[in-house]
Structure 1
């Protein structure tokens, strides 16, 4: 379809989404700053691979993309999309950690048979390994995934509260908004959780790198401790 033939509203939506991102720091303050800084560090933890780790880099690329998409979707007021992106990010993180420690590709595809193996089985094996090797990280990831699966990963009438409303009266109105209704407190909490998930993921990948090698970390990770402290401060700020 010719882009000029698209409904004007789509271009307006895109422009409004961009403005929401521009306005995010002054609007959401430390919650946004911490999430933003986290996704930047997450995207730059590897300086260079020192072994053949093609699978790890593939999953790491998915980690970077979907964590950033979760952050951007949150401030653009698309909560369900943000949570689904965060879930995909967590799954990519588990597979990235597993493939950094296990460079054999047969869990994912078979060169000899020229076929891709069952993705669910491969991911299940990765989860089992993480659960035994890094139980603290595994529990954190499982808890967030369970929450997302129970609330936002599937079509649910409860999620309609974010963009559907009925205004009674003489001129009754049915509202079906493209953007979620504005709720700054909820967005701040989601930004805090997005950042925390990113920090746990960084910590997990660096722990696996320390145990198994695979790549040279970049100097960006030097700020990880401060990012974690900032995340705790954001949590305290939200609670009080």
Structure 2
């Protein structure tokens, strides 16, 4: 059996055993992931005017993909990959929220520049300016959501966005005779894996709550009792797991991403 086949087999087993290994942390991630993509995206359940929210739909589908990839990555014990996917998702979610309130915004930039370097620099400049505008709007209009998103993004940038020796040590086990065992999968304590599962789940909840409130305030939808009941249930689960995680790390100073 080749390397990729062997890794695929091992990671399939990690997914199959995830509920047994991580219990409610995995079940919450799985349930909110399914709701995020399979229900919340349905046009007849959320929006009637598809054209008015076209940009949102496109951004949401990419966001849904990145959050699910983050979930898969942490279940398969790839910590850095999970957080890089999550960082991508955090930016996409902010753009998606902005597109609900300002649907006329240009999100895909094009121009007539013939030089590829100039075209790329121009596009990067426009995207940077747009994100600055998005983050400013989010901080002013939805400060609590903005605080959570910025907190997680800053911690990802500080801890896992760049290669470092600390993360490299998560792949090795030192034996008594100065020998090392190298693992393709991260060797973090299960509490770090469960905490990361919660951070991904919490990000999904944060964005669903943000999108719903942004859509209601912009009169794209009327208040929906079914959605509000579901969001309340997720909030209760989220707070319960958050409390459990805080207790896990209450005397632990080496927590990478603090709750």
For normalisation by structure 2, the TM-score amounts to 0.81
How is 1:81-120 mapped onto 2 (pairs within 5 angstroms)?
81-106=81-106, 108-109=108-109, 117=123, 118-120=126-128
Query: Is residue 127 from structure 1 mapped to residue 135 from structure 2 by the alignment?
Result: yes
Return the offset for 1:176: 3.1
Q: Relative to 1, partners in 2 of residues 1:233 and 1:220: Cα closer, same or farther, differing over 3 Å?
A: same
CA positional deviation for 1:215: 6.1
- Summarize the Cα distance change of 1:127–1:108 in structure 2 as closer, same or farther, 3 Å threshold: farther
Q: Report the alpha carbon displacement of residue 166 of structure 1 after superposing the two structures with TM.
A: 3.8
Aligned partners of 1:46 and 1:218 also within 8 Å? no
The answer for unaligned runs of 5 or more in structure 1 is 1-6
Q: 1:38 to 1:218 in 2, by over 3 A?
A: farther
**Conserved 8 A contact 1:37-1:227:** no
Does the residue aligned with 1:179 lie in a helix, a strand or coil?
Answer: coil
Secondary structure of the structure 2 residue equivalent to 1:106: coil
Using the TM superposition, name which of 74-83 and 225-234 deviates more: 225-234
Q: 2: CA distance between counterparts of 1:109 and 1:102? A: 16
1:14 and 2:8 matched: yes
Matched, 1:56 2:56: yes
**Residues 119/226 of structure 1: CA separation in 2 closer, same or farther (3 Å cut):** same
Q: Does 1:225 align with 2:219?
A: no
Higher strand share: 1
CA separation of 1:121/1:168 partners in 2, compared to 1, >3 Å: closer, same or farther? farther
In 2, the alpha carbon distance for the partners of 1:9 and 1:119 equals: 39
| Alignment match, 1:3 | none
1:116-155 paired onto structure 2 within 5 Å: 117=123, 118-155=126-163
Match of 1:176 among 179, 182, 190: 182
1:100 partner SS? helix
Distance 1:91 1:215 in 2: 24
Q: Which runs of 5+ in 2 are unaligned?
A: 114-118, 249-259
Identify the residue that residue 45 of structure 1 maps to in structure 2. 40
Higher relative contact order (CA 8 A, sep 6+): 1
Question: 1 CA distance for matches of 2:242 and 2:56?
Answer: 31
Q: Distance in 1 between matches of 2:225 and 2:63?
A: 17
User: Which of 211, 215, 218 lines up with 1:205 in the alignment?
Assistant: 211
1:180 aligned counterpart, secondary structure:
coil
Instruction: Provide the aligned C-alpha RMSD in A.
Output: 2.6
Q: Report how many residues are paired.
A: 232
User: SS where residue 106 of structure 2 aligns?
Assistant: helix
Q: CA deviation at 1:57?
A: 1.0
TM-score by length of 1: 0.87
